[in-house]
Amino acid sequence: MSVKESFAIGARRHGRIRPLDHPRSFPYLIALCALLIFSVLAFGAVETWSISILEICTALLFTVMLVHRTGFSGVQVRWNPLYPPMVGFATVAAIQLILNLTAYRYETLLVCLQYCAYGMLLFATAQIAGGERSAKLLVLTLGVFGSAVALFAISQNLSSTLRIYWLRMPSTDASIFGPYVNHDHYAGLMELLTPLALVLSLSTLVRGGQRILAAFAAVVMAGSIVLSLSRGGAISLVAELSLLFWMVCRDQKGTPALPRMLLLVLAVLAFLALTGSPVMWHHLGHLQDALRVDILRDSLRMFARKPLFGWGLGTFQNVYPGFRSFYSHFFINAAHNDYMQVLVETGLVGFSCVVWFVVTLYRSGLRRFGRGEQNWEDVLRAATLVGCTGILVHSLSDFNLQIPANAALFYVFCALATGSPTTAETSTSGGIRVYPGEPLIESLL
């Protein structure tokens, strides 16, 4: 008997090896999905009432889950490699508040509350998501929801209405698409959700009519990104397809996945040819945007003034008017580049934590690929990593991660992409099932 098997048997005797899915996790998973769906349908949770509900419900979910699982169920806290960079970024924000390094303390405090909610969502997801049944629940629930939102958004767009849900008129000039006031932010949402159906349609977990339904959902969601007239969204979709193509080539050599992927791309193009218009193609081909370039140039001057800790988290819109080099009747509330904005607001110290977070995301997320595995956890991990890639690319030209619904979904996906697989790892010799997420077993092995 090997040392690994001995430790596994010892852990089993002490009750440390549990079923693939803890049944008590499902109420929390359902609550998590309901919270994410609400935030999307509530116009992206950009208004005070909706972001307040998101933050309060997140705090309740986090508290109840933590007390119940650690206090009553005796379940140990799972580790996630994204915790250290998150703690580092939180430390930067705390230093800004404690040492009064922010240009507008109240605004920094409000944004810190949002980031606390995102951190609690990531932590809660890392604790309650794991196993085949929970992965299947998340893939199907969010995939079906994404396709339903895409169908609604396309129908609303074809009706040429200026009202969201055909009922509510935005208070400002807007380019609505789906439940969002801004079409770019809708594209960010679909960048996250499209890979769920796309990866599922390429896997061996579905066949026949199920594969066709998954492929149809992927085509509709991907097509809606282009129909939204978001140039950043279209470029991000190409980046997602490129990453997925590389992953398929690496993980599924000699399988029908590559031809299926090419067929899906052709289906998306056919869908766009059927529903698109010359105006759409002309808009997507116009890539020059002098306003974003000017904002970027001004932001660099802002960073040069306070390069270490920045102007304070969430204070860009308050500080920027003093650095604006052009006239505009628009209110500039963001840098239209999430990386530049975090550099301006948190300086080199905070930006280094963001880089640390992104590097850890891909280093941990890509670690388990190339083993030829086909299960729901692998589908979920691949889809969430591809979805995170899309919105990270889009963040180069927009501020999707400042939209609460998109940010909440992004951090949940980060937890899913990097979480330790809780599906049993089978020993090649004795068939012993061990959970890498268990702290004691992981340290012993």
Q: Which pair of tokens denotes residue 415? A: 């937890």
Are residues 177 and 221 in contact, defined by beta-carbon separation less than 8 angstroms? no
End-to-end CA separation in angstroms for the chain: 14
Confidence of residue 268 (pLDDT cuts 50, 70, 90): confident
- What pLDDT, on a 0 to 100 scale, did the predictor assign at position 276? 60
Higher pLDDT, 295 or 25: 295
Rg, Å, the chain Cα set? 22
Q: CA 41, CA 52: separation in Å to the nearest integer?
A: 15
pLDDT over 60 (residue 309): yes
Query: Does position 252 have pLDDT exceeding 70, yes or no?
Result: no
CA distance 320 to 311: 10
Average pLDDT, the chain: 84
For the chain, the residue count is: 445
**Largest pairwise CA distance in the chain:** 76
| CA 267, chain centre distance (Å) | 25
pLDDT in the model for residue 22: 56
Residue 132 pLDDT exceeds 90: no
What's residue 229's pLDDT? Answer: 87
104-113, 144-153, 198-207, 436-445: segment of lowest average pLDDT: 436-445
Q: Where are the beta strands (DSSP E) in 23-141?
A: none
Indicate whether 24 pLDDT > 80: no
Q: Is 50 exceeded by the pLDDT of residue 53?
A: yes
What CA–CA distance (Å, rounded) separates 53 from 35? 9
pLDDT of the residue at 428? 33
C-alpha triplet 281, 335, 171: angle, nearest 5°:
70
The average pLDDT across 355-371 equals 85
Tens-digit pLDDT profile for residues 205-243? 888 899 999 999 999 999 999 889 888 898 899 999 989
The DSSP bridge partners found for residue 426 are: 433
Residue 259: predicted pLDDT: 79
pLDDT at 300: 95
Is the pLDDT confidence value at 73 over 70? Answer: no
pLDDT tens digits for range 319-338: 999 898 887 777 888 999 99
Q: Indicate the Cα dihedral angle 164, 169, 175, 181, nearest 10°.
A: -60
Residue 16: pLDDT over 80: no
3-state helix, strand, coil in the chain (%, to 5): 70, 0, 30
Whether the CB-CB separation of 38 and 53 falls below 8 Å is answered with yes
Residue 72 has pLDDT above 90, yes or no: no
Residues 6+ apart with CB under 8 A from 100: none
379-429 residue pLDDT tens: 999 999 999 999 999 999 899 999 999 999 999 999 999 986 554 433 333
- pLDDT for the residue 1: 45
* Residues ≥6 apart with Cβ < 8 Å to 145: 33, 37, 40, 193
pLDDT at 67: 86
Q: Kindly state the average pLDDT of the residues 331-348.
A: 93
pLDDT at 308: 95
* Cross-strand partners of 434: 425
Model's pTM, two decimal places? 0.87
- The pLDDT score that the predictor gives to residue 435 is 36
170: exposed, middle or buried (C-beta count within 10 Å: 0-12, 13-18, 19+)?
Answer: middle
Residues of the chain with pLDDT > 90: what percent?
57
| pLDDT recorded at residue 270 | 81
Q: Which of 70-84, 168-182, 299-313 has the highest mean pLDDT?
A: 299-313
Residue 123, pLDDT > 70, answer: yes
